[in-house]
């Protein structure tokens, strides 16, 4: 049915203008990166691709760069430079490599940048984009967890726009719709509970990497999938929310909601609660950030509540899932604790995926490293990177000692 044509001041919704933007995607070959490119494929003439980046998959990156006529393709691993040059031959796309090239790519003029590198490795390019005053769609939660107030200050001082992409934070962003934080009573982050929500402690002790990455609702990269299984993901998201939405740590709660239909909620002080709902498909929050403040169509499944039938909720079991509590304590402790926590978790997750430690050892390693030392509040990006690399060394040593 077509919409009524009658104009009515104050009620009429302007037709969505087709956004036309220049776009860079950091982490273009990953789960979030390829979902972003899938959305761009739906209307390619509306976008000009400036830079695409990847860590080591030179051939995959070159394929995307050719398809989207990217100006520049950047491979993080310098050892893959020649492979990228060869794969791009005759394409017109420039081939850059190495960590400095990621920063140079962030210097290029792009209206909108997707930050979808996994881990603290994505922090420096994000900071560079923000300091240039760009619009940055933030998927890379580890970068915000590690740098915290420094990233928010970089965005504020340059007038950059930080658009949350993590489904929970994008949901909160939509529910806030620019409202004053003075009116907000609480924020509830929903959590699916991951693949081990109903597992016993003993079952979790024996969990294998292939079981941990088999998320019941979402299809994601390996690292965030393991974080979802330990529920450190929800803890990292708690820290992320604390920085993005300054309502106070105590006002941010976690609620397990196994269907992943409600992506998060904002309760206002009049006790009105707004929630954002949708199919568990990252293309929905990515599309919201890509088109913001407009809306674009996606090919995502519509939400069919009659078929879903029931939405259920349960409290977090913080005995089987200590991750969120460890994260809450780290942000409350302040200083360099969140950066240490993030680095230790990245190393522990990689060790678990490599079969070097057990599933429950992840939280043990993170706690051990956090208890080891407490550096002062980082004052600049270099401080964060120094804390990150020291914590990685400590976590690696703790794993070696344990084994
Ligand atoms: P992924 O592993 O699928 O992709 C990661 C991307 O980063 C790849 O393009 C890879 O080449 C690149 N990369 C990895 N290490 C790098 C390095 N050292 N230097 C340069 N590039 C590097 O990860 P993902 O699932 O797409 O997640 C990306 C980020 O988005 C993570 O921070 C994750 O927590 C966040 N996120 C993901 C989802 C999801 O559904 N996948 C949802 C919410 C948030
Ligand atoms: Mg999330």
pLDDT digits (tens, 9 = 90+) for 196-237: 999 999 999 999 999 999 988 888 999 999 999 999 999 999
CATH number at residue 370: 1.10.1740.10
Residue-number span of the structural domain to which 393 is assigned: 334-403
| Residue ID of nearest Cα to ligand 1 atom 42 | 166
- 158/173 same-domain check: no
Give the integer Cα–Cα distance in Å for 331 and 316.
19
Burial class (CB in 10 A: 0-12, 13-18, 19+), 132: middle
pLDDT at 380: 98
- What are the backbone dihedrals phi and psi of residue 367, each rounded to the nearest 5 degrees, phi first? -65, -40
Across-strand partners of 188?
Answer: 253, 265
| Whether 223 and 310 share a structural domain | yes
Structure tokens at 190: 């929903």
For residue range 162-183, list pLDDT tens digits in order.
999 999 999 999 999 989 999 9
pTM higher than 0.75, yes or no? yes
CA–CA separation, 226 and 150 (whole Å): 27
Task: Give the mean pLDDT of the chain.
Answer: 94
Overall average pLDDT of the 7-14 stretch: 46
Position 34 scores a pLDDT of: 98
Domain final position from 257, 281, 315: 315
Q: How far is the CA of 114 from the centre of ligand 1 (A)?
A: 11
Tokens of 297: 């169509």
Instruction: Please check whether residues 174 and 153 belong to one and the same domain.
Output: no
Whole-angstrom distance, CA of residue 359 vs CA of residue 194: 13
Does 247 share its domain with 178? yes
Same domain, 182 and 143: no
How far is Cα 372 from Cα 25, in angstroms, rounded to an integer? Answer: 37
154 CA from centroid of ligand 1 (Å) = 22
Query: Structural domain tally of the chain?
Result: 3
Assigned domain for 328 exists: no
Nearest CA to ligand 1 atom 36: 139
Q: What is the mean pLDDT of residues 110-138?
A: 97
231, 153: one domain: no
139 pocket-lining for ligand 1 (C-beta < 6 Å): yes
Q: Does ligand 1 have an atom closer than 6 angstroms to the CB of 387? A: no
How distant, in Å, are the alpha carbons of 18, 102, 213, 284, 342 from that of 34?
A: 21, 18, 18, 13, 25
């Amino acid at each position: 049915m077509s919409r009524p044509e009658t104009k009515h001041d104050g009620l009429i919704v302007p037709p969505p203008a087709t956004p036309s933007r220049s776009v860079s995607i950091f982490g273009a070959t990953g789960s979030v990166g390829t979902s972003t490119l899938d959305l761009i494929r739906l209307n390619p003439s509306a976008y000009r691709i400036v830079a695409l980046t990847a860590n080591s998959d030179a051939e995959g990156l070159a394929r995307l760069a050719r398809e989207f006529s990217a100006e520049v393709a950047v491979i993080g691993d310098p050892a893959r430079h020649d492979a990228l040059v060869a794969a791009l031959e005759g394409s017109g796309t420039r081939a850059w490599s190495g960590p400095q090239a990621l920063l140079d790519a962030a210097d290029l003029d792009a209206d909108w940048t997707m930050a979808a590198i996994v881990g603290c490795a994505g922090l420096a390019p994000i900071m560079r984009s923000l300091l240039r005053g760009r619009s940055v769609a933030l998927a890379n939660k580890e970068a915000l967890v590690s740098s915290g107030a420094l990233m928010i200050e970089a965005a504020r001082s340059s007038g950059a726009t930080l658009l949350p992409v993590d489904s929970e934070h994008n949901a909160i962003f939509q529910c806030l719709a620019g409202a004053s934080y003075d009116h907000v009573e609480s924020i509830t982050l929903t959590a699916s509970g991951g693949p081990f929500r109903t597992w016993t402690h003993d079952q979790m002790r024996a969990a294998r990497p292939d079981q941990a990455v088999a998320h019941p609702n979402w299809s994601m990269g390996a690292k965030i999938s393991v974080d979802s299984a330990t529920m450190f993901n929800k803890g990292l998201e708690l820290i992320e929310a604390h920085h993005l939405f300054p309502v106070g740590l105590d006002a941010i709660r976690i609620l397990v909601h196994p269907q992943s239909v409600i992506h998060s909620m904002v309760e206002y002080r009049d006790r009105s609660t707004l929630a954002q709902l949708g199919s568990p498909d990252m293309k929905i929050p990515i599309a919201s950030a890509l088109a913001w403040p407009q809306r674009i169509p996606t090919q995502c499944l519509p939400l069919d509540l009659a078929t879903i039938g029931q939405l259920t909720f349960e409290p977090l079991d913080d005995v089987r899932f200590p991750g969120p509590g460890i994260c809450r304590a780290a942000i409350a402790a302040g200083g360099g604790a969140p950066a240490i926590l993030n680095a230790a978790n990245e190393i522990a997750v990689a060790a678990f995926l490599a079969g070097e430690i057990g599933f429950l050892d992840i939280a043990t390693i993170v706690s051990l490293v956090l208890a080891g030392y407490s550096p002062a509040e980082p004052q600049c990006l270099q401080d964060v990177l120094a804390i990150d690399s020291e914590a990685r060394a400590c976590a690696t040593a703790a794993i070696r000692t344990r084994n």
